[in-house]
Amino acid sequence: MTQHVVIIGAGIVGVSAAIWLRRAGAEVTLVDRSEPGRGTSHGNGGVLAAAGVAPVTGPGLLRKAPGMLRDPEFPLFLRWPYVPRLLPWLRRYLSHANDADTRRISRSLAPIVADSVAQHKALCADLGLEDWVRDSDYCFAYTNRAAFEAEAYTWARRKDAGFTPEIIEGGAVQEFDLAYGPQITCVARLADHGFIADPGGYVRALAKAFEAMGGTIRQADVQDVEITGGRATAVLTDQGSLPCDSVLLATGVWSKPLMQKLGVNVPLESERGYHIVFKAAQGGPSRPTMMAAGKFVATPMTEGLRCAGIVEFGGLKAGASKAPLALLRRQAKAAFPHLTATEEIEWLGHRPAPSDSLPLIGQIGTSRIYTAFGHHHIGLTGGPKTGRLIAGLITGQPPNTDLTPYHPQRFDR
């Protein structure tokens, strides 16, 4: 019997799941309060970071954190009035800043991201969207070899996942890419990566293809899930009820309030992220580059050069801060001294950050309510793989990946 699945959230994860569910024969309704690809799926750095397996909470973070906050050039900011609300989550988050947890988290992230480019291409197959996925290197730029070697622990976790860089040094750096400023004398180049030159447009194109496959998209504000006999029977919205057999919650950081209504408390915070698009840019890098000192990624996109990064904790309600954007602009222009643009566009978004840096992928009990959110920095990278895994779970085709590390009720144990 064909089942009807309602997916809450039309970002990259929700749209990917919708396509894979339609391919499996399910009837699917995708509902979001906004249009597809308008939130975090629009504003990310665009990189398909297959090597993105190392969490921020590595060993030594507790020791380094005070200095990070005092350093005006370090891309970490706090909205101090929000700190009392942040502290319970922050304690749990920092408790993972040790070797054993970092290795465990890294091993668990690898199945979600390591084959990212192939998963995006599989998602686009037969939809006429293959040109959206661009193969490329992914580079990490350092001031010198010592700065690269200072991140040896993180590079060891990437090596564990199968990613070993080619090191480019000295004068060869500017020969490799003329955009890099003279202070960059060491580049770690990773092959077999990719990027999306217009992430929001990509998700909207996928959503349009989903409709062409017979899927339905509804713009509405989800208020609750109706449960009868212990199982989901409808999604309640401000536009009326959507009867269903299964529900998939894929609304990023906004998933937390609905999870609370379902009786599941998730330690999830917004890691506020910023980007600046330098429109019609000249003098930017020719391939996605992580600027190690500033912890931001610079990606050549259709609209211009997008520089995305910065970590700020301050909740969902506060508007953009001036200091993070000023730092991002300053660091971008120092990294790429010949950068010019016709205009600069600023953006603030909300990365969904679980306290253990792992997404929530699975079913809540036997309720037929499924989750696929909490991807922190790897939402675009891991969206298609997550969508494929959860679609298999919903349609009774269990994946050959152990989903235990991502169980949505793991925090209750």
Where are the chain's structural domains? Answer: 4-412
In this predicted structure, what is the pLDDT of residue 413?
A: 67
Tally Cβ neighbours within 10 Å of residue 274.
25
d(C-alpha 248, C-alpha 373), whole Å: 10
pLDDT (tens digit, 9 = 90+) per residue, 52-66? 999 999 999 989 988
Q: What is the pLDDT of residues 138-169, one digit of tens each?
A: 999 999 999 999 999 999 999 999 999 999 99
0.85 exceeded by pTM: yes
What pLDDT score was predicted for residue 1? Answer: 55
* Residues 6 or more apart in contact with residue 317 via CB below 8 angstroms: none
Q: What is the CATH number of domain 4-412?
A: 3.50.50.60
- The overall average pLDDT reported for the chain is 96
Please give the order of strands across the beta sheet that includes 4-8.
216-219, 27-32, 4-8, 246-249, 369-373, 360-363
Q: pLDDT tens digits for 240-253? A: 999 999 999 999 99
Mean pLDDT of 37-63: 94
Closest CA to 389 of 355, 363, 367, 365: 363
Look at residues 352, 276, 307, 310 and name the one whose alpha carbon lies nearest to residue 40. 352
* 124-137 pLDDT per residue, tens: 999 999 999 999 99
- Please state, in angstroms and rounded to a whole number, the distance separating the CA atoms of residues 383 and 373: 9
- 206-221 pLDDT, tens per residue? 999 999 999 999 999 9
3 state DSSP class of 16: helix
Q: Are 299 and 45 in contact (CB under 8 A)?
A: yes
How high is the pLDDT of residue 399? 86
Query: Hey, CA dihedral for 243, 251, 42, 289, is it positive or negative?
Result: negative
214, two tokens: 């017979």
Asked if 276 and 332 count as a contact pair (C-beta separation under 8 A), the reply is yes
For residue 91, the SS3 value is helix
Overall average pLDDT of the 401-408 stretch: 96
Residue 2 has pLDDT above 80, yes or no: no
Q: Amino acid letter at 257?
A: P
pLDDT value at residue 293: 87
The whole-angstrom separation of Cα 109 and Cα 111 is 6
CA–CA gap between residue 356 and residue 364 (Å, rounded): 18
